[in-house]
């Protein structure tokens, strides 16, 4: 099969957020578009985002949005500038998807329904004659002389000089996540940065964390540090689970932790339980307790700041009996107590895996893809969008924004 320069067909592999917007934008430009999806319907993972409410963007300006992608920000910048959060809201508005931001930061559809977003995107594609081939696995890319000429699917072959690979990540296998897209890219000659789960609950070694299952802390800071890397998340909410920790701040460091666990047995993290109170202020706080509430137990005083169950854990780790009067705390106990409040240690030994991972860290190596077009530098006519690329952002609508922005740019 020889490359046909007159073939205006665009094939999209994957009918998730990136694939749907890529198909829609390409169809608007006049291309014939065929979208291949291994599942029976489109946007299955999209339906689950934001707890079914579809948290698709946030209100950050373009440059602040880009900065949140850390060391991937230079690569992600062209796509995020092409489709900022504001532009994405306008794009959706034109389709009939109004949006709102109840807290001034997180952006949701006004319907608060991910299904309504998926349905309207699907309808817009079909109005432009985008063809969908469901229950169709893409089994190979057809490449000749370094150019795309088509794909091989479970339903047969299809010729095209342009393909957008938007097959998603490995997370949530029950919703179609897997490594098939990465395998296609690898066979095309691309390097795949090792995959690990991100935005995923963490498993900890300490038994006491499991005893706090269900306890939520609304305002904590989580820090991770190990030779060669550091990561901080928060202040924000943290949830103790039977296995360890979850919630936005735990998820925020989970990608870095999971990467570190690929070469280490465990990773140490610390939690600042009251980040609004700096370390140097704690000594004065405890001295104030001693002067004004000396007859009260230290458990009673800590109970004003922390859930009682956590306060007991903190005191146990500080080697201060819960019935100790504040006035009777020794200098060493005060020192250990402040250390636990500002740097409560936990040892992470694992994650809850891809089955619970909202995002995949790793993927197609960015040095092999042109950031201005998202076209492969190895195969002409092969483009990438969404989670298949080695780009992942923090909690807060960043990853769905990336899916839509990269799909938009790849379709140009």
Q: Are residues 94 and 137 in the same domain?
A: yes
- Helix/strand number for the chain, H first, E second: 14, 19
Q: Which among 332, 352, 372 is the end of a domain?
A: 352
Nearest C-alpha neighbor of 358 from the set 166, 193, 201? 201
Q: Are residues 343 and 368 in the same domain?
A: no
Instruction: Name the percent of the chain lying above pLDDT 70.
Output: 98
Report the DSSP beta bridge partners of residue 225.
Answer: 230
Q: Are residues 405 and 315 in the same domain?
A: no
Q: Are residues 106 and 143 in the same domain?
A: yes
Q: What's the confidence (pLDDT) of residue 294?
A: 78
- For range 92-100, the mean pLDDT: 95
Residue 2 lies in a domain: no
Q: Are residues 162 and 297 in the same domain?
A: no
Residue 77 lies in a domain: yes
Instruction: Tell me the chain's radius of gyration from C-alpha atoms.
Output: 25
Q: Are residues 58 and 79 in the same domain?
A: yes
CA atoms of 215 and 241, how far apart (whole Å)? 8
230 band by pLDDT with thresholds 50, 70 and 90? confident
279 band by pLDDT with thresholds 50, 70 and 90? confident
pLDDT digits (tens, 9 = 90+) for 149-198: 999 999 899 999 999 999 999 998 888 889 999 999 999 999 999 999 99
pLDDT digits (tens, 9 = 90+) for 188-215: 999 999 999 999 999 999 999 999 999 9
**Which residue, chain included where needed, has tokens 């099969």?**
1
- In this predicted structure, the answer to whether residue 355 has a pLDDT above a threshold of 60 is yes
Q: Are residues 229 and 118 in the same domain?
A: no
CA atoms of 67 and 222, how far apart (whole Å)? 20
321 band by pLDDT with thresholds 50, 70 and 90? very high
Residue 1 lies in a domain: no
pLDDT digits (tens, 9 = 90+) for 397-407: 899 999 999 99
Using CA atoms, how far residue 233 sits from 62, 255, 257, 291, 299, in Å, is: 21, 11, 12, 35, 28
Q: Are residues 29 and 175 in the same domain?
A: yes
Residue 4 lies in a domain: no
How many separate domains does the chain show? 2
Pairing of strands 216-226, 267-272: antiparallel
- In this predicted structure, the answer to whether residue 287 has a pLDDT above a threshold of 90 is no
Q: Are 343 and 225 in contact (CB under 8 A)?
A: no
- In this predicted structure, the answer to whether residue 301 has a pLDDT above a threshold of 60 is yes
Q: Which among 314, 331, 352 is the end of a domain?
A: 352
Q: Which among 331, 352, 373 is the end of a domain?
A: 352
Q: What's the confidence (pLDDT) of residue 123?
A: 97
Burial class (CB in 10 A: 0-12, 13-18, 19+), 30: exposed
Residue 47 lies in a domain: yes
3-state helix, strand, coil in the chain (%, to 5): 40, 25, 35
On average, the pLDDT of the chain sits at: 93
257 alpha carbon, distance to own chain's centre:
13
Residue 297 lies in a domain: yes
Q: Are residues 176 and 137 in the same domain?
A: yes
pLDDT digits (tens, 9 = 90+) for 40-79: 999 999 998 888 899 899 999 999 999 999 999 999 999 9
Report the DSSP beta bridge partners of residue 389.
Answer: 364
Q: Are 172 and 390 in contact (CB under 8 A)?
A: no
Instruction: Name the percent of the chain lying above pLDDT 90.
Output: 81
Q: Are residues 166 and 241 in the same domain?
A: no
CA atoms of 120 and 177, how far apart (whole Å)? 23
323-351 burial, b at 16+ Cβ within 10 Å, e below that, comes to eeebeebeeebbebbbbbbbebebebbbb
Q: Are residues 162 and 294 in the same domain?
A: no
- In this predicted structure, the answer to whether residue 4 has a pLDDT above a threshold of 70 is no
Identify the domain containing residue 231 by its residue range: 201-352
Pairing of strands 138-144, 244-246: unpaired
pTM (predicted TM-score) = 0.91
Q: Are residues 371 and 382 in the same domain?
A: yes
Q: What's the confidence (pLDDT) of residue 281?
A: 87
Whichever domain contains 100, its CATH number is: 3.50.50.60
């Amino acid at each position: 099969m020889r490359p046909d320069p007159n073939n205006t067909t665009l094939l999209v592999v994957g009918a998730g957020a990136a694939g749907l917007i890529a198909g829609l934008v390409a169809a608007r430009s006049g291309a014939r578009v065929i979208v291949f999806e291994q599942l029976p319907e489109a946007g299955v993972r999209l339906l689950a985002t934001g707890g079914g409410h579809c948290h698709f963007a946030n209100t950050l300006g373009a440059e602040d949005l880009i900065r949140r992608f850390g060391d991937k920000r230079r690569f992600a910048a062209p796509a995020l500038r092409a489709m900022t959060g504001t532009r994405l809201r306008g794009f959706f508005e034109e389709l009939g998807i109004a949006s709102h931001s109840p807290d001034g930061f997180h952006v949701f559809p006004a319907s608060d329904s991910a299904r309504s977003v998926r349905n309207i995107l699907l309808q817009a594609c079909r109005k432009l004659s985008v063809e969908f081939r469901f229950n169709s696995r893409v089994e190979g890319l057809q490449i000749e002389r370094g150019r795309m000429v088509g794909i091989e699917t479970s339903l047969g072959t299809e010729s095209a000089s342009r393909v957008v690979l938007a097959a998603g990540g490995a997370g949530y296998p029950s919703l179609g996540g897997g490594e098939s897209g990465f395998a296609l890219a690898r066979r095309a000659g691309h390097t795949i940065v090792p995959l690990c789960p991100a935005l995923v609950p963490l498993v900890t070694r300490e038994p006491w964390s499991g005893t706090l299952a269900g306890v939520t802390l609304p305002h904590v800071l989580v820090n991770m540090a190990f030779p060669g890397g550091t990561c901080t998340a928060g202040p924000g909410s943290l949830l103790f689970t039977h296995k360890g920790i979850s919630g936005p701040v735990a998820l925020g460091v989970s990608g870095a932790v999971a990467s570190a666990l690929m070469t280490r047995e465990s990773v140490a993290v610390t939690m600042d339980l009251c980040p609004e109170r700096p370390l140097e202020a704690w000594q004065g706080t405890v001295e104030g307790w001693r002067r004004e509430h000396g007859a009260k137990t230290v458990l009673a005083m800590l109970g004003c700041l922390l859930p009682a169950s956590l306060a007991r854990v903190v005191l146990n780790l500080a080697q201060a009996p819960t019935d100790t009067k504040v006035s009777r705390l020794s200098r060493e106990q005060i020192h250990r107590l402040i250390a636990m409040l500002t740097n409560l240690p936990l040892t992470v030994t694992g994650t809850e895996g891809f089955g619970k991972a909202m995002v995949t860290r790793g993927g197609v190596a960015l040095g092999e893809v042109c950031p201005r077009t998202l076209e492969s530098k190895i195969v002409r006519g092969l483009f990438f969008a969404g989670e298949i690329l080695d780009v992942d952002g923090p909690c807060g609508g960043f990853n769905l924004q990336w899916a839509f922005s990269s799909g938009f740019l790849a379709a140009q």
